[in-house]
Amino acid sequence: MAMVKCAWCDGKGIDDFRLTSPCNVCDGDGYVNVPDPPTECGRCSGTGKIRDSFNNEFVKCSGCRGSGWAR
Ligand SMILES: [Zn+2]
Ligand SMILES: [Zn+2]
Ligand 2: distance of its center to the CA of 38 in Å? 13
pTM of the model: 0.87
Give the closest ligand to the alpha carbon of residue 61.
Answer: 2
Ligand 1: distance of its center to the CA of 4 in Å? 10
Q: How many CB atoms lie within 10 A of CB 37?
A: 7
pLDDT tens digit string along 9-47?
A: 999 999 876 666 899 999 999 999 999 999 999 999 999
Give the closest ligand to the alpha carbon of residue 59.
Answer: 2
State yes or no: cis peptide before 22, omega within 30 of 0: yes
3-state DSSP call for residue 51? Answer: strand
Give the closest ligand to the alpha carbon of residue 39.
Answer: 2
Mean pLDDT rounded to a whole number for the chain: 92
Residue 1 exposed, middle or buried by CB count within 10 Å (0-12, 13-18, 19+): exposed
Ligand 1: distance of its center to the CA of 21 in Å? 10
Indicate whether 58 pLDDT > 70.
Answer: yes
